[in-house]
């Protein structure tokens, strides 16, 4: 019988078994926000590589303005570079579009891509355009770099670390924020320069799906205080946990270093909150029960 | 009125105008086989970046075995790295597949990708899997490296250069060769190490479409001797020119250096022909009339 993979992780396992073992220069392969490569001949710098795709009917509606789709297509992998503390460098873009597209559609899509490229200092150096007999499909591959000591993996959180998020959560799809979000590149770079930050990840699938991934990668469990979630106006705790597409940073911080870090953050980013929302704990101590049953979580003592 | 771009080049022009000017480290942006980047802190090495996509119904039929599609998906951008004289390094793979795919389909596709990765020393370091509401779509982004002095661009051919191709041309689709071709990585690297080789390009769209691109990039025209085309058994000259998907290398060579180069090639690659098929000429001298009217071409004096 031809079974289906039950989860993204099962699929990744299945895929990885068909591939040759990664070469020695691969610090981090399939499974983190970006692949991390130790380049030969460049000391102290790590290369980042990421690909991300948007499919019409899955990631955007057919009537979404193409300029917004272009923006989102580049900003999504930029958010992954941000989560590694990295600087984006070069992008290649593949577009499969219906043959009905004329100059207007191509221009609008690339105006959105170009806007994001200008804003975040990315060079779009190539790509491919093909005809799609079905939905529009946009794939962006992005390279980046990060100083070795600033690299933040999702596997380095420790029991006892504070869990924090940048910005606010929830309602991204219904508000249209998913089409105009700002990848947290400056913030990711700043946080990666802080000793106290042990791990980072970007919130694309939603806290309820992403935090368990970070926890598993770090062999930890976690406890969230639902009352402490920074929510967008009009959003419930459930929406803040489950909506997804927030593109905020999920960060773990050594608790003793938090007060000083919080002070510096307030000066560096006065307009963007960095909110503690819970604790990483021992994997034995507590099950990872998000996204279902989040209301059964024991609130943190405040 | 919403016009459509009349050609790939018109579309590239239109797209490029929407993008910020490339950063200083971009040696070659949109328009060659790969993007070429001069990395900071690495002397004498250029980075290569390429993306390439396969769409069901355009690049492969729905009943093509997935293991062959996986092979082709990685080998196509490998052929572009070959055309730059480069060594492939790392790949990320995006797959949009119907929700009906089970373990068998995923395994088969990745077995083909893995086979090519093993054969040509590529590390597949990440990617994305999404559901497609339409055709299957596979996009591969690939990085590579090339020694600065070995980089071969399609813009460096000169009038008087011999035009050569590796292997044989024609019939790739009808014979199924397009699903099991060998990217000419070893040959591309070898040729790039030769002084006499002035430019290289891979033949993906067919000689009749690709040679005019190389000629335009080099501000040359060309003259082909149809009788000299190395054809696969059963293929006509027209098929050798127009079929496409040959994935052989198109190479231009300084004529005075050709005899010695030819001798060395025969020893290095005794099983693969390297055939002179024509001459680059001054752009004033002769129009680039391939693929139409190739039978009106003046044969080379032999």
pLDDT tens digit sequence for B94-105: 999 998 999 999
The number of beta carbons lying within 10 Å of the beta carbon of residue B94 is 25
What Cα–Cα distance (Å) separates residue B218 from each residue in A35, A179, B161, B270, B283?
37, 41, 11, 30, 9
Give contacts of A124 with chain B, Cβ < 8 Å: 19-20, 29-30
* Predicted local confidence at residue B41, as pLDDT: 72
DSSP class of residue A33 equals: S
Domain spans in chain A, listed from the N-terminal domain onward: 8-150, 162-296
How wide is the angle at C-alpha A58 spanned by C-alphas A55 and A64, nearest 5°?
Answer: 75
Nearest CB to B141; choose among A41, A59, A92: A92
* Partner residue facing A26 (CB), from B5, B42, B125: B125
Position B294 scores a pLDDT of: 41
The answer to whether A133 contacts B45, with C-beta atoms less than 8 Å apart, is no
Contact of B50 with chain A, judged by CB distance below 8 Å, is answered with yes
* A141 at B interface, C-beta within 8 A: yes
Q: What is the pLDDT of residue A299?
A: 36
B38 touching A (Cβ < 8 Å) = no
Characterise B234 by phi-psi region: left (phi > 0), alpha (psi -120 to 50), beta (else).
Answer: left
Burial of A169 from C-beta contacts in 10 A (0-12 / 13-18 / 19+): buried
Strand pairing report for B87-97 and B137-147: antiparallel
Judge whether B283 and B221 are in contact, CB under 8 Å: yes
Q: Which residues of B touch A56 (CB under 8 A)?
A: 133
Q: Which residue of A has its CA nearest to B106?
A: A15
Q: Which residues of chain A have pLDDT under 50?
A: 291-302
Closest CA to B144 of B185, B116, B114, B179: B185
Spatial separation of the C-alpha atoms in residues B247 and A114, rounded to whole Å: 32
- The strand pairing partners of B51, in sequence order, are B141
Q: Is A20 on the interface with B (CB under 8 A)?
A: yes
Q: Looking at chain B, which residue has its C-alpha nearest residue A8?
A: B129
User: To the nearest whole angstrom, how far is the Cα of A242 from the nearest Cα of chain B?
Assistant: 19
Q: Find out if CATH 3.30.1330.10 is the number for domain B28-150.
A: yes
Counting as low any pLDDT under 50, the low residues of chain B are 291-302
Interface probe, candidates A5, A102, A106, A123, chain B, greatest B C-beta count within 10 A: A123
Tell me how close the Cα of B72 comes to any Cα of chain A, in angstroms. Answer: 15
Chain A to chain B Cβ contacts (< 8 Å)? 236
Shortest distance between the Cα of A239 and any Cα of chain B, in A, equals 23
Mind giving me the DSSP string for B184-249?
-HHHHHHHHTSTTEEEEEE-SS-HHHHHHHHHHHTT-EEEE-GGG--B-TT--HHHHHHS----PE
β-pairing verdict for B197-202 and B249-253: antiparallel
Interface confidence (ipTM) of the complex: 0.87
What CA–CA distances, in Å, run from B275 to A179, A302, B253, B279? 53, 79, 11, 12
Task: Specify the pLDDT at position B299.
Answer: 36
| B129 part of contact set with chain A, CB < 8 Å | yes
- Is the preceding peptide bond at A166 cis, omega within 30 degrees of 0? no
Q: Which residues pair with A144 in a beta bridge?
A: A48, A88
- Please say whether the beta carbons of A106 and A61 come within 8 A: no
Tell me if A20 and B123 make a contact (CB, 8 A cut-off): yes
Q: CA A140 from chain center: how many Å?
A: 14
Please name the residues between 187 and 226 in chain A that touch chain B, using a CB distance below 8 Å.
Answer: none
Q: For residue B222, how many C-alpha atoms fall within 13 Å in the half-sphere facing its CB?
A: 34
Per-residue model confidence (pLDDT) at position B27: 85
A71 interaction partners in chain B (CB closer than 8 Å): none
Q: pLDDT at position B44, please?
A: 87
Closest listed residue to residue A123, CA positions, set A87, A76, A152: A87
Q: Are A30 and A43 in contact (CB under 8 A)?
A: no
CB B187 within 8 A of CB B275: no
A7 Cβ neighbours under 8 A, 6+ residues apart? none
Could you tell me which CATH number the domain at A162-296 has? 3.90.650.10
| Closest Cβ opposite residue B92 in set A51, A55, A111 | A51
Q: Are A130 and B58 within 8 A, CB to CB? A: yes
Does the beta-carbon distance from B20 to A49 stay under 8 Å?
no
- The pLDDT, as a whole number, for residue B286 is 64
From the CA of A26, how many Å to the nearest CA of chain B? 7
B135 → chain A, closest CA residue: A134
User: Chain A: residue nearest B127 by CA?
Assistant: A51
* Distance of alpha carbon B65 from alpha carbon B73, whole angstroms: 13
CA-to-CA distance for A144 and A122, rounded, in angstroms?
Answer: 9
Pairing of strands A137-147, A197-202: unpaired
CATH 3.30.1330.10 fits A8-150, yes or no: yes
Burial class (CB in 10 A: 0-12, 13-18, 19+), A214: buried
A226 close to A145: Cβ distance less than 8 angstroms: no
């Amino acid at each position: 019988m031809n079974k289906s993979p039950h989860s993204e992780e099962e699929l990744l396992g299945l895929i990885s078994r068909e591939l040759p073992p990664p070469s020695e220069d691969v610090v981090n392969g399939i499974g983190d926000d970006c692949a991390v490569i130790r380049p030969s001949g460049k000391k102290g710098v790590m290369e980042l590589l990421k690909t991300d795709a948007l499919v019409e009917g899955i990631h955007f509606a057919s009537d979404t303005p193409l300029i917004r789709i272009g923006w989102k297509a580049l900003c999504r992998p930029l958010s992954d570079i941000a989560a590694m503390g990295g600087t984006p460098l070069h992008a290649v873009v593949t577009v499969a579009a219906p043959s009905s597209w004329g100059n207007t559609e191509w221009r609008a899509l690339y105006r959105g891509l170009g806007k994001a490229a200008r804003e975040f200092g990315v060079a779009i150096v190539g790509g491919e355009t093909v005809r799609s007999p079905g939905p529009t499909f946009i794939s962006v591959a992005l390279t980046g770099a990060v100083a070795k000591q600033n690299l933040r993996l999702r596997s380095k959180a420790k029991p006892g670390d504070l869990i924090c998020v940048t910005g606010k959560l929830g309602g991204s799809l219904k508000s249209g924020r998913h089409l105009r979000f700002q990848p947290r590149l400056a913030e990711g770079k700043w946080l990666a320069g802080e000793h106290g930050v042990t791990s980072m990840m970007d919130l694309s699938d939603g806290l309820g799906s992403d935090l368990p991934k970070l926890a598993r990668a770090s062999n930890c469990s976690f406890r969230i205080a639902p009352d402490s979630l920074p929510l967008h106006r009009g959003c419930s705790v459930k929406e803040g946990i489950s909506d997804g597409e927030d593109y905020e940073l999920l960060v773990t911080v050594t608790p003793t270093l938090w007060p000083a870090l919080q002070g510096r953050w307030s000066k560096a980013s006065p307009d963007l909150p960095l909110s503690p929302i819970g604790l990483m704990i021992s994997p034995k101590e507590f099950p990872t029960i998000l996204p279902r049953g989040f209301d059964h979580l024991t609130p943190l003592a405040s």
